[in-house]
Structure 1
């Protein structure tokens, strides 16, 4: 009877763990509207003192969330954290970092007579599959990416680059990114089948950077914006340009939106259990990483660490040979470094999980007594 009861209890624990694994795959950004009128420098300083920074935006869903935080009394527009710099780099229109893995956002296939700097600011692909830059105001057919079908769509309408971007966002998902040679060949085949000589792709060059150094290259400029010397960005909250962005001189006066990080790097060197106690006393818990979307944000935080690896909430439940998150959720999404996290572990040797702070930032299995920086979460699922 005792054996049966023990097995039933174990089954109950296992079912509970599986149910706990069904959690939200991404933590929403926490936006905070500030009803104070300031120039962009003072707004940035205020956000960094009271929250994390001026608002960063990864995608259209973030625009919608930010607008929810802004009341009608906010005026025409609010500062966000996009600033003009002296550095001009190539970026993808589909700017959400979660869309890319490893370094595939850096894939390029320039023609031999092109350089990575380029003379112009928008990129197109020719029938030979090679990329070239051109004036964004020129008219070309273009390729959209559709997230529902996970495929590419050739649009045989003449548009400039920004109009093509707007069309793709309205009718599909975004102007196409090209993450690897396989995707490059797919698009090249669409051109050759359709008898098209050149198409816009989603690669563009600009000198804008987020205040918090976010990797997002998402842009939502209103027509004819970001073409002058203004150095800061507002998000319009009403009228025909609602949700779109305008560039303004930093000395202009607007209310603004800050964001609060869901993930906090603690630069103290503690053991895994000490780190968990710290996070539960001062925040919510040691961080969990249930999805690539969350991992991108955790990786960005971990890069600022002073130790080679950073504790997450991963721990090995030895009697069932399972990796769990702090509150019993089964680890479904995984990103282990080679030789880590797989196979049976000696139950006499406890193992806990950390994310590397440099390189490809894979997960590593380490003894819990090691003293490392760690990441807490403020997110309550």
Structure 2
């Protein structure tokens, strides 16, 4: 939603027009969480999913698919310190439930593993909820042209409404700037995106990678937040080496890790056994890299290793 707000600021010139964005329908349907978290766990009931329905609800700890236009009560994830859950005893379509959760809490609830599934069912039992409830699982075939895996959707009410014909997406002229499906050969204004992170598939030592980025872009990337880490995770999936250099270096005399941008490392995403114990200053200087596979944590490596690397434009 932050991206949408920035986008609306950049295109709000008073003219009432539709504007293309990079979301396009493909031939591949996949289940996704509304929150954008990866789908690593599924708990379908017997014979489910059983058709072309594209949204999921929970009944007796099992999941069922149903038409998103039907109305159910639902569970939002929230900042509630006790459970992190809020039951909303109003019946809404899946999309309207999603909007309600985003406006009033965090999002429709995600269920990432069996333990969470059991916790949600306990919450349902303890709250004496007797009806089916929407969860944040949905299926669609829309993908971003930059291949990013975001499942954020901001469709206007009733959209997308013309499957098989309108396969491209535009933001609308309404105040909310919500999304409409349109015919791809329509001629509209459009918004381009310049990625500020660039994966370089050459293999260089850390000092060489730093020099390359400074000569051609701005610098090796610094990762100051979970949001930036998620952007890095999208980029490193295309790497050809097991790890990828970041702009992270060890100031050995004080046993401190610093970013090339000058900041101390506050946000941290170290793999176990990395970054938290003193480095041996008598050996090769240590630099920070991010794993290109697994859970993509940061690791400490000798600067002489040859890896792909990420440059930043800003």
| TM-score above 0.5, yes or no | yes
Q: Does residue 263 of structure 2 align to residue 322 of structure 1?
A: no
Q: 1:358 aligns with which of 285, 288, 293?
A: 293
Aligned length: 309
Match of 2:102 in 1: 169
CA distance in 2, matches of 1:366, 1:169: 41
Matches within 5 A, 1:188-337: 188-192=121-125, 193-229=127-163, 230-236=166-172, 238-239=173-174, 242-337=176-271
CA contact (8 A) 1:191 1:198 kept: no
Match of 1:69 in 2: 10
CA distance in 2, matches of 1:269, 1:170: 45
Match of 2:307 in 1: 372
CA contact (8 A) 2:73 2:131 kept: no
Structure 2 vs 1, CA of residues 158 and 282 (structure 1 numbering), >3 Å: closer, same or farther? Answer: same
CA distance in 2, matches of 1:157, 1:299: 37
Structure 2 stretches of 5 or more lacking a match?
none
CA distance in 2, matches of 1:169, 1:344: 43
Displacement of 1:370 in angstroms is 2.0
CA distance in 1, matches of 2:151, 2:128: 30
CA contact (8 A) 2:222 2:261 kept: no
CA distance in 1, matches of 2:24, 2:174: 24
Instruction: Answer with 68-77 or 129-138: which moved more.
Output: 68-77
Displacement of 1:184 in angstroms is 2.4
More helix by share: 1
CA distance in 1, matches of 2:129, 2:136: 20
CA distance in 1, matches of 2:9, 2:129: 45
Matches within 5 A, 1:96-115: 100=37, 105-115=39-49
Structure 1 stretches of 5 or more lacking a match?
1-59
Q: Does residue 51 of structure 2 align to residue 137 of structure 1?
A: no
What's the CA shift string for 1:219-244, capped at 9, x where partnerless? 011111113221100011x335x321
Displacement of 1:283 in angstroms is 1.9
Match of 2:19 in 1: 78
What's the CA shift string for 1:198-220, capped at 9, x where partnerless? 10111111110010111100001
> How large is the Cα RMSD of the aligned pairs?
2.0
CA contact (8 A) 2:246 2:310 kept: yes
With structure 2 as the length reference, what TM-score do the two structures score? 0.91
CA distance in 1, matches of 2:168, 2:304: 46
3-state DSSP of counterpart to 1:72: coil
Displacement of 1:336 in angstroms is 2.6
Structure 2 vs 1, CA of residues 168 and 342 (structure 1 numbering), >3 Å: closer, same or farther? Answer: closer
Structure 2 vs 1, CA of residues 284 and 183 (structure 1 numbering), >3 Å: closer, same or farther? Answer: same
3-state DSSP of counterpart to 2:200: strand
Matches within 5 A, 1:88-99: 88-95=29-36
3-state DSSP of counterpart to 1:69: helix
3-state DSSP of counterpart to 2:192: strand
Match of 1:41 in 2: none
Displacement of 1:169 in angstroms is 2.7
What's the CA shift string for 1:94-133, capped at 9, x where partnerless? 23xxxx4xx5x42322223324x8541110011x211111
CA distance in 2, matches of 1:347, 1:262: 33
The structure, 1 or 2, with the larger RCO (C-alpha pairs under 8 Å, 6+ apart) is 1
What's the CA shift string for 1:129-181, capped at 9, x where partnerless? 11111122222111122347682211111222122223223332322222233
